[in-house]
């Protein structure tokens, strides 16, 4: 399994709800269609930080998701709400737990 973490800093806090709504409505369905998709999580931090965790079977599939997300940000016109490129950490998952908690 391969994981990609994207950390977006400087997110316009007045638009976070818009971003989150569109992630659920339009981004997640597109990610689910990608080969090797295993999971996606969006985390709202403090002070204009959003982080995401994407899980795929291979690094190539995870790379496809990075391309898709970049295009999605542009297509949804969130360039101004998320003005800084994400800091990306990507690699092989070397330990995990199968228990997933329900999202509130």
Residue 71, domain extent: 2-92
* Residue 1 near residue 92 (C-beta atoms within 8 A): yes
User: How confident is the model at residue 27, as a pLDDT?
Assistant: 97
Residue 99 within any structural domain of the chain? no
User: How confident is the model at residue 96, as a pLDDT?
Assistant: 84
Domain count, the chain: 1
Q: Which residues of 33-67 are buried (b: 16+ CB within 10 A; e: fewer)?
A: ebebbeebebeeeeebebbbebbbeeeebbebbee
Q: How far apart are CA 104 and CA 102, in angstroms?
A: 6
Residue 12 within any structural domain of the chain? yes
Q: Return the structure tokens found at 30.
A: 């597109």
User: How confident is the model at residue 98, as a pLDDT?
Assistant: 75
pLDDT of residue 97 exceeding 90, the answer is no
Residue 104 within any structural domain of the chain? no
Residue 37 within any structural domain of the chain? yes
Q: Return the CATH number at 41.
A: 3.30.70.100
Whole-prediction pTM value? Answer: 0.87
Residue 103 within any structural domain of the chain? no
């Amino acid at each position: 399994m391969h994981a990609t973490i994207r950390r977006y800093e400087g997110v316009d806090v007045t638009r976070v709800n818009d971003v989150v709504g569109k992630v659920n409505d339009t981004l997640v369905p597109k990610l689910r269609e990608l080969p090797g998709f295993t999971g996606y999580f969006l985390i709202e931090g403090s002070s204009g930080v959003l982080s995401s965790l994407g899980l795929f079977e291979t690094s190539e599939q995870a790379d496809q998701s990075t391309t898709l997300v970049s295009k999605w940000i542009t297509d949804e016109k969130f360039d101004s709400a998320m003005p800084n490129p994400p800091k990306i950490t990507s690699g092989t998952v070397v330990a995990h737990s199968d228990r997933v908690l329900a999202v509130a």
